[in-house]
């Protein structure tokens, strides 16, 4: 070997590894950026669904509403189904949200608390973390 042509294999492998990791991270970033609009739509839809169930049906938004229990049960059942649709199959974490909403609705049904309208807005998205499970 000539003295000026000696190449360290460790440096070559390190450079290849750095380039490969960089390409991978850039690719992941591009994929995640492409998914942002879909994620934003799902988040906004979930919030709208959640907000809609913070109140009794419109005709019962009065002091001491006389909502029949069967109608309330049907409303709560639909609420549970709608909220559950945003969660992973076989994941019971939605139950906390549903139970909180049920409690609020029961209070509105039996007390003089009346919720005429309820609004939540998204002020900004700060980060998206996307994971893929097989």
Which residues neighbour 122 within 8 Å (Cβ) at sequence distance 6 or greater?
43, 44, 47
pLDDT at 132: 54
Which residues neighbour 45 within 8 Å (Cβ) at sequence distance 6 or greater?
86
pLDDT at 131: 60
**Tens digits of pLDDT across the chain (134 residues):** 455 566 788 889 999 999 999 999 999 888 888 888 888 888 889 888 988 888 899 888 888 788 898 999 999 999 999 999 988 877 788 888 889 899 888 888 887 677 778 787 777 777 666 565 54
Q: Is the pTM of this model over 0.75?
A: no
Of 20, 18, 22, the residue nearest 30 (C-alpha): 22
* Residue 51 included in any domain: yes
Domains contained in the chain, number: 1
> What range does the domain containing 86 cover?
3-110
Of 14, 104, 12, 9, the residue nearest 53 (C-alpha): 104
* Residue 90 included in any domain: yes
* Residue 53 included in any domain: yes
């Amino acid at each position: 070997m000539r003295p000026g042509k000696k190449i360290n294999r460790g440096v070559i492998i390190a450079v290849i590894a750095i380039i490969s990791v960089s390409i991978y991270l850039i690719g992941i970033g591009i994929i995640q950026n492409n998914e942002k609009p879909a994620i934003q739509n799902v988040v906004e839809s979930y919030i709208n669904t959640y907000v809609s169930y913070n109140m009794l049906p419109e005709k019962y938004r009065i002091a001491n509403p006389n909502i029949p229990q069967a109608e309330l049960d049907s409303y709560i059942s639909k609420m549970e189904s709608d909220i559950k649709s945003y969660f992973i199959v076989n994941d019971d974490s939605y139950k906390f949200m549903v139970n909180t909403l049920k409690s609020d609705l029961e209070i509105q049904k039996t007390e003089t608390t009346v919720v005429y309208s309820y609004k939540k807005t998204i002020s900004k998205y700060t980060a998206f973390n996307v994971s893929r499970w097989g």
